[in-house]
Amino acid sequence: MHYALPGHTGWIWSVIFSPDGKTLASSSGDSTVILWDVLSSKQIGVLKGHLGPVRSIVFSSDSKVLASASEDQKIRLWDVNTKKCLCNLSGHNDWVLNVTFSPSDKILASGSTDCTVKLWNVDTGECSKTLQLNKSPVRSITFSPDGKTLACGSEDQQIKLWNVETGESISLEENADRAWVKSVLFSPDGKTLIGQNPILQEAVNQVQSIAFCKNTVLASASRDQTLQLWDVITGECLSVLQGHTDRVLTLAYSPDAEILASGGNDCKIILWDIATGKALHHFLNFNNPVRSIAFSPDGKILASGEDHILHLWTDLKNEPKRLNSLKGHHKWLWSVTFSPDGKILASGSGDRTIRLWNVKTGECEKILSGHTSPVRSISFSPDSKILASGSEDKTLRLWNVKSGRCLKILREHVSWVRTIAFSPDGKFLASGSEDQTLRLWHTSTRKCEKVFSNHTKGIRSIAFSPDGKFLVSGSDDETIKIYHSVETKEVIENKTLRIPRPYEGMNITNVIGLTKIQRATLKAVGAKEDSIL
């Protein structure tokens, strides 16, 4: 027997039973926490107050208090009986991804993408200690059964132990797997600490970003810290570029197609010589992940999004120098792009706004407001007159650049719109979504012409070839799909590219001692099994 509990309108990030077994709590991207009665399966309360997705929830040991952590950088304590907020804890300056009570319920620990763990006095609501990790987001935290030790798993591939009373770090042998530590857990007797990384559990070759160099050469970036250059005609991987030490998040080609820029979770920007495949320059983006980069149309300026600040770099072929830093957004920058005429730089942010900057003066000329969730992607039309934006609110918006007025809202996606792009002739707008679909919109009618459902996971990046003949999509399913004949509207899938997975081609048909789950896991990372007739 199973029950479906409808109620949330966004992704569900966390579910947890109360220790007494009477209540189930769920938290969501819709910024709410819902409390459910376990026996009746009915809602008994909706906790509202957060201004961003609620990523983590936890009950106190007596089931009377619930703590919630959110992307709004806040932690809230709720009275489970009255459904009222008891306390609002502020102190983190980025997303709070996890919270946990100490066994005594006197201390609440919180981990954040600001690379800190904070210990809070539950009675007073004051932060008693801030534990600084090594410039790496905190993915998981847990107390030892006696409450004396706190373990943290982070994106720097390590598990950290801390003395809760003193705040001092306890040494631990280095993690040999060299992958994110996504979850940590103490055994009940406190003698064993288990750390789980996503080497087998998650795709290591998720396609983070794609960009065309020339009409038939495509660059892709993946979670395995590498970049690949592909021939879209033959499907051949021409070369693999290595230099980043964490996920590569964004790519951009210079207009002359001589330089490829990449930005990553390692806070680095690397400029690559396409002819040789060698790195020309490495430089730090002020110790924050680089989520978006873009070249100006003349190739003289590189823009990079760092936290909530937009940086402009120049002298790219010699020794890159910072030209300017544009401040105005107050949350992560997800997308930056120059207008084709080179006059305007646009930035889309987690603060739900788009800013239009004068490239010459660095002044913000317009703020485009209307999206109700973070703006994930922006793209100018070829004539620089229209800006398109895609958001976590599941919509695309078309904006008049001159007036700042919203011209049209496109609503057919059923989940986040992660990536958008205009075709070179401006006739089409493509959008890729977390709903696993690629949609092609006609810009004159503003209607969806075609829907492609060939990916099995969310689409992270799309790109048109410079001549408009190819449209490419990269996905969390580790594949790149190539579509051709876009300009004739007779769009068909032409080819699928895939980076070899860790166990690609391994035949496990006659291997003994594997459970069903282990076989499924191995096949998910490339192993194969012959069918038995």
Burial of 382 (0-12, 13-18, 19+ CB in 10 A): middle
pLDDT value, residue 178? 40
Pair 100, 122: CB distance under 8 Å: no
Contacting residues for 156 by C-beta, under 8 A, at least 6 apart: 133, 134, 135, 136
Higher pLDDT, 57 or 205: 57
Higher pLDDT, 297 or 285: 297
Q: Lowest-pLDDT range, 100-114, 251-265, 450-464, 473-487?
A: 473-487
DSSP-derived 3-state class of residue 190: coil
Domain boundaries, the chain: 12-196, 503-533
Is the confidence at residue 389, as pLDDT, over 90?
yes
CA dist., res. 332 & res. 344, Å (int): 20
Q: Which of 425, 428, 350 is nearest to 388 (CA)?
A: 428
Is the confidence at residue 319, as pLDDT, over 80?
yes
pLDDT value, residue 18? 94
pLDDT value, residue 527? 82
pLDDT value, residue 136? 72
pLDDT in tens, 433-469: 999 999 999 999 999 999 999 999 999 999 999 998 8
Over pLDDT 90: what percentage of the chain? 57
The tokens for 388 are 């398109």
Contacting residues for 481 by C-beta, under 8 A, at least 6 apart: 438, 452, 454, 455, 472, 473, 475, 493, 495, 496
CB atoms within 10 A of CB 197: 19
pLDDT in tens, 27-37: 998 899 999 99
DSSP secondary structure code for residue 519 in this structure: H
pLDDT value, residue 173? 44
pLDDT value, residue 117? 92
pLDDT value, residue 179? 42
DSSP-derived 3-state class of residue 377: strand
CA dist., res. 212 & res. 220, Å (int): 9
Phi/psi at 486 (5° precision): -65, -35
Burial of 319 (0-12, 13-18, 19+ CB in 10 A): exposed
**Rounded mean pLDDT of the chain?**
86
pLDDT in tens, 132-176: 876 678 888 888 888 888 888 876 656 788 889 888 887 554 443
The tokens for 494 are 């032409």
DSSP-derived 3-state class of residue 524: helix
Is the confidence at residue 108, as pLDDT, over 90?
yes
Is the confidence at residue 332, as pLDDT, over 60?
yes
CA dist., res. 150 & res. 156, Å (int): 17
- The CATH code belonging to domain 12-196 is 2.130.10.10
Pair 15, 35: CB distance under 8 Å: no
pLDDT band at 67 (very low <50, low <70, confident <90, very high): very high
Q: Which of 377, 311, 309 is nearest to 348 (CA)?
A: 377
pLDDT band at 245 (very low <50, low <70, confident <90, very high): confident
DSSP secondary structure code for residue 174 in this structure: P
CA dist., res. 113 & res. 163, Å (int): 21
pLDDT value, residue 371? 97
pLDDT band at 531 (very low <50, low <70, confident <90, very high): low
